[in-house]
Structure 1
Amino acid sequence: MSFQVKKISTKPYDGQKPGTSGLRKRVKVFQQEHYTENFIQAIFDSIDAKDQTLVIGGDGRFFSPETVQTILRIGSANGVAKFIIGQNAILSTPAASNIIRKFKAYGGILLTASHNPGGPDNDFGIKYNVSNGGPAPENVTDKIFEKTKTISSYKVIDLPPLDLAKLGNFEFGPSKVEIIDSVKDYVELLEAIFDFKLIKSFLQANQAKFKVLFDGMHGVTGPYGRAIFVDKLGLPASSVQNATPLPDFGGGHPDPNLTYAHELVERVEADDIAFGAASDGDGDRNMIYGKGAFVTPSDSVAIIADWAEEAIPYFKNGVKGVARSMPTSKQIEYVAKKKGLSCYEVPTGWKFFGNLMDAGKLSICGEESFGTGSDHIREKDGVWAIVAWLNILAFANRDSPSQLVGIKELLQKHYEVYGRSFFSRYDYEEVSSEGAQKLVDNINAHITQGSLKSTQHASKSTGQSFAVAETLNFDYTDPVDGSVSRNQGQIIRFEDGSRVVFRLSGTGSQGATVRMYVERYVAPSAGAVELGRDTAEGLKGLIEVALEISKLKEFLGREKPTVIT
């Protein structure tokens, strides 16, 4: 095949700074002349990918096929020896991490904006993962950003588009291309982790009283769900819904929470389904929901950590350690303390977990933003978490108890042993950047001056009183490489152990997103009534106090959050 490397002149664009999970903007921003090419060339200028293998995949959102071709043209011109690409440019984020690790690739470029909406008027994203299969660390993303600010040209090989639907091996200029089955390797990975035989036996024995429903939300995990739940575990085809990946996610918001996964919630309640689960656009998030029982992500990772060594074959030799992102509730810490495990608190961003995993310090971890995972890969993994729950439930019911142990029963047992962290997150999306900054500045002033310490704040509706113990900005020193990440969230801690966290999110595509996290711990001794309260009821007083202290409504001009999870 004849080819010629061309050098195309360009100029920098402002604002191409990757966030916690790559560069995310509206599709129309990426469609500007040279915009996408600039960022891709900046990636290649920042890494030494010559004569190396790169993985390409994504969640199939709008503008993905064209961008794969752009990566091929630029990557080949920059000397990439081989590309491994998911069929039709589809490869979930966890599956891509697995492929990078399994085939010892140099890294990967993932086309995803995760849980953000897709389509021509919505979001697109480009993310670079390194050789461990995880998101690029800050020293790499900072280098990419610096390159975007000075770029003057990019290299390209001008060849016809490659047919991404055909499996097999091809040539693209000087590069080799292998288009692989998007699902096969990932399913094999999960079969090596979980006891599929036990799960299948449990599901078959309890077909009438333990129905299962998986919702792919028209994201990338639909084909994975069919392969696992229908083909491998023998569930009926009706157990999987919204399983066709669509460029606009069917017009929905592919974020698995109670607000956006309402179709799953409604069907679970209407059809008396014992186990419902949803995943997001790129497959790294999950929600567990059974009839009358919602599992918070904080509780989910704690319960998986509690049962892992006993129930899941992958952990039969023990759990090395556990971790949570700073905003996530401390529920997993109570499990770690009882089991004598190290528990790490890291900033938001899966790359921080990856360092601990690579150092052999961490097995199971999670984020309150519906991300849960383990050291089997270096990304959070929605389908992994869902199968983990099925494995645990199958194990809990292995002796055929007279009363089925379901999601609600598992939660109750957990609270009786460890107590309960009432937890909720308020998202204020696409608010004024100016207002968001004023909110942050106000809290920072309190932190600097210590003006809130020892002050008392009462809830008018509940009569509860909360005394501030301390205020701080969360800074993190990585115990593996010593790198420091500052200003990762503002924390107000109260004397009863409750806390409120404020954080500007890096996952939006425009404006600002402010997240407020609220946590109140109740010990096992409080009794079944208190432990079983509705989350909103358990947190009502603390939320009132948090809004009063922060003056959030005043600064953001919003009476209510966009989403409550």
Structure 2
Amino acid sequence: MRTRTVTTKPFKDQKPGTSGLRKPVTIFQQSNYLENFIQSIFNSINISETSTLIVGGDGRYYNSQAIQIIIKIAAANSIKRILVGHKGIFSTPAISAAIRYHKAFGGIILSASHNPGGVNGDFGIKYNTEHGGPASEEITNNIFNCTKTINKYKILEAKDINLNYLGSCNLGTTKVEIIDSITPYVELMQQLFDFGRIHTLLASSNFRISIDSLNAVTGPYARTLFETCLGAPRGSVQNDIPLEDFGGKHPDPNLIHASSLVNNLFGLNSPDFGAASDGDGDRNMILGRNFFVTPSDSLAILTANAHLIPGYKDGVKGVARSMPTSQAVDRVAKKLGIECYETPTGWKFFNNLLNADKITLCGEESFGTGSNHIREKDGLWAILFWLNIIAITGKSVENIVYEHWKQYGRNFYSRHDYEEIELSKANDCMNQLRYTVKKIREKTAFNEYKITHADDFSYIDPIDKSISKQQGVRISFASGSRIIFRLSGTGTKGATFRVYLEKYQFDNTKIKLNTQHVLSPLIQLAEEIAHIKSFTELDKPTIIT
């Protein structure tokens, strides 16, 4: 085996977003495109003589081919040990756990998360650091700067490694190990949750679950967890084989893309509990029989009930939510007497708080929830958390949520997505909003709504004091209502313009009202403020959650 140095030229579009570099597969398949980015990662970090790297992905199209290229470049860059998930499969939460367990300097995750897969789908690469979480903005900027000047990369000339068998081999001086990525993750979950109580619940003929892995990475993990370890009947986990195109499905756990699960839970003789995960396993959607739990409410309820769970019996030190996430968890934190942090969207902001031991739980409205057990959001962890609460309290999902609302009030909440908008028009809309919000601040009211706050959210990190500007326009009203506007950075086609609507209701006689009906005045107000239809050229949102 010999190391070959290949001359190359920079690509102009390799700036990582909030979740790494995401592009259509055809972009990554360009000559030297993947190689340039991987070499830029290694050029931007210090590699020690005993370095360990974790590599794996969600099994989408181009996953296996990319892994072969990555391990050969890693070997050429003197990385001593590479741990690769069996068959190239490694969920994002499991990689985070593996980085921390093996004291690796980092991991390379191959996924575009909830974006579609397949030949004409999306692909992505994310670099996670030694803490197990996504690289900081400083590191991703260093990587991007390297991509702008790169003129060569190194790669080992070697045959491809068979990823289908557990074992190890040598690539030059580098040891490559194909490892079981599922068992260590299951063992970590056993340390956190009462598997005995959950097993009793799931093995009972009086309680049925339906877990939809959407033909994505959590399939093998969920099958092992729920059917093998926890006694759920065979077939409780559906779509459990990871497919390169996710079976033609959109691997996003929401009410639209997980429609088969939703129809199952809202039909006759429905299961008692339902849940779905996304492409790389870090998101979750929770359902009860004929009942949907918003991610914002889920975070609040997990925080309020954390003391029931073995891994969190000593209490929650603090909690954090992304700025667009509803303020439901704020009310729980206030009662518990703990700090509640409001951060920009992006898990890396939570990680600073987690690493500083400021928080125990955290979450985003985009179906992501997590804790200090790793440094990523964790879909299956959230599902187990809910099942553990149900097993201990003996209450249904619906009753758990209603009792929570009766105690804390309800934050009626919805997100309206306008997808695949022309980027220039989306930016024009946000720029107009930034101008409008300055004018709004000069008023005491907008129509009949008394304004208490309006800004373009800027965040000063309490740990490293870094500043993140223009994180979304937010407008708050005296009633406790909020409207938030921001652009999402996770898509690969055009832009996604998002509107977040929230109204607080403390009257227990009104907590069961229809969400869209309650929010309808805010929906109209959002249109009046932002002129969404004019800018997006869409009469209605693409997705409402």
Give me the CA root mean square deviation: 1.1
The aligned runs of 1:132-151 (5 Å cut-off) are: 132-151=131-150
Q: Give the corresponding residue for 1:402.
A: none
Q: How does 1:250-329 map to 2 (within 5 A)?
A: 250-270=247-267, 271-309=269-307, 311-329=308-326
Question: 2:81 is matched with which residue?
Answer: 82
Cα separation, 1, equivalents of 2:102 and 2:511: 47
Letter of the 1:283 counterpart:
G
| Pick aligned residue for 1:562 from 520, 532, 542 | 542
| Residues 158-197 of structure 1 aligned to structure 2 (within 5 Å) | 158-197=157-196
- The aligned counterpart of 2:422 is 432
Equivalent-residue separation in structure 2 for 1:73 and 1:29 (angstroms) = 20
Normalising by structure 2, we get a TM-score of: 0.98
- The aligned counterpart of 2:60 is 61
Whole-Å separation in 2 of the counterparts to 1:548 and 1:450: 12
Alpha-carbon offset, residue 563 of structure 1: 1.0
Question: Structure 1 residue 534 and structure 2 residue 514: aligned?
Answer: yes
Q: Which of residues 486, 490, 493 is equivalent to 2:473?
A: 490
Shift of 1:482: 1.1
Q: Show the counterpart of 1:511.
A: 494
Shift of 1:546: 0.7
Q: Tell me if structure 2 keeps the 8 A contact 1:91–1:220.
A: yes
What does residue 97 of structure 1 align with?
Answer: 96
Separation of aligned partners in 1, 2:310 and 2:508: 34
- CA deviation after TM superposition for structure 1 residue 79, in Å: 0.9
Pick the aligned partner of 2:433 from 443, 446, 459.
443
> How far does residue 50 in structure 1 lie from its aligned partner after superposition?
4.4
Alignment partner of 1:16 out of 10, 14, 24: 14
What do residues 197-230 of structure 1 show as CA deviations (whole Å, max 9, x unaligned)? 011123334x23x211100000000001110110
Deviation at 1:495, TM superposition (A): 2.1
- The aligned length equals 543
Note if 1:350 corresponds to 2:347. yes
Using the TM superposition, give the Cα deviation of residue 25 of structure 1 relative to its aligned residue in structure 2, in angstroms.
Answer: 0.4
> What secondary structure sits across from 2:203 in the alignment?
helix
Cα offset for 1:450? 4.2
| 8 Å CA contact retained: 1:452, 1:471 | no
Structure 1 residue corresponding to 2:446, chosen from 425, 446, 456? 456
Contact 1:452 1:470 in 2 (8 A): no
Whether the 8 Å contact between 2:214 and 2:246 is mirrored in structure 1 is yes
Partner of 2:370: 373
Contact 2:501 2:522 in 1 (8 A): yes
Q: For the residues of structure 1 that align with 2:288 and 2:438, how far apart are their CA atoms?
A: 45
- Give the percent of matched residue pairs that are identical in Structure 1 and Structure 2: 50
Q: Distance in 2 between matches of 1:255 and 1:549?
A: 30
Q: Which amino acid aligns with 1:553?
A: K
Instruction: Please say if residues 213 and 239 of structure 1, whose CA atoms lie closer than 8 Å, have aligned partners that are also in contact.
Output: yes
Alpha carbons 2:409, 2:508 under 8 Å: kept: no
* Aligned ranges 1:386-425 → 2 under 5 Å: 386-397=383-394, 405-425=395-415
Instruction: Report the counterpart of residue 47 of structure 1 in structure 2.
Output: 45
Distance in 2 of aligned mates of 1:452 and 1:494? 14
CA distance, structure 2, for counterparts of residue 333 and residue 226 of structure 1: 35
Amino acid across the alignment from 1:302: A
What residue is the counterpart of 2:208 in the other structure?
211
The two structures have a TM-score, normalised by structure 1, of 0.95
The residue type paired with residue 345 of structure 1 is: E
What's the counterpart of residue 461 of structure 1?
Answer: none
Measure how far apart 1:469 and its partner are: 3.0
| Cα distance in 2, alignment partners of residues 155 and 50 from structure 1 | 17
For residue 323 of structure 2, what is the amino acid of its counterpart? M
Distance 2:480 2:13 in 1: 39
Per the alignment, residue 124 of structure 1 pairs with: 123
SS at structure 1 position matched to 2:78? coil
Task: Give the Cα separation in 1 of the matches to 2:330 and 2:383.
Answer: 22
The equivalent position to 2:217 in structure 1, one of 217, 220, 224, is 220
Q: Could you tell me which residue of structure 1 aligns to residue 360 of structure 2? A: 363
Quick one: which amino acid aligns to residue 513 of structure 1? Answer: T
Preserved contact between residue 91 and residue 280 of structure 2 (Cα < 8 Å): yes
Provide the secondary structure at the position in 1 that maps to 2:266. Answer: helix
Q: Distance in 1 between matches of 2:261 and 2:360?
A: 30
1:60-85 per-position Cα deviation (integer Å, ceiling 9, x unaligned): 11001111011111111111111011
Equivalent-residue separation in structure 2 for 1:170 and 1:307 (angstroms): 46
Q: Distance in 1 between matches of 2:331 and 2:441?
A: 31
Give me the whole-angstrom Cα distance separating, in 1, the residues matched to 2:316 and 2:248: 41
Distance in 2 of aligned mates of 1:13 and 1:453: 47
Determine the structure 2 residue equivalent to 1:27.
25
Cα displacement (A) at 1:452: 6.3
2:169·2:175 contact (CA, 8 Å) conserved in 1? yes
Alpha-carbon separation, structure 2, partners of 1:453 and 1:84? 58
Counterparts of 1:135 and 1:105, CA distance in 2:
14
2:197 maps to 198
* Contact 1:452 1:468 (8 Å CA) reproduced: no
Conserved 8 A contact 1:453-1:471: no
SS in 2 for 1:558: coil
Alpha-carbon deviation of 1:174? 1.8
Q: Is the Cα contact below 8 Å between 2:440 and 2:446 reproduced in 1?
A: no
Deviation at 1:455, TM superposition (A): 3.5
1:282-331 per-residue CA deviation (whole Å, 9 max, x = no partner) reads 0000000122110000000100000001x100011221111100000000
SS at the partner of 2:53?
strand
- Kindly indicate whether the alpha-carbon contact (under 8 Å) linking 1:443 and 1:550 is maintained by their aligned counterparts in 2: yes
2-structure distance, mates of 1:429, 1:153 = 37
Runs of 4+ in 1 over 6 A off after TM superposition: none
In the TM superposition, what whole-angstrom CA distance separates every residue of 1:317-370 from its partner, at most 9, and x where no partner exists? 221111100000000000000111111111111111111111111101110000
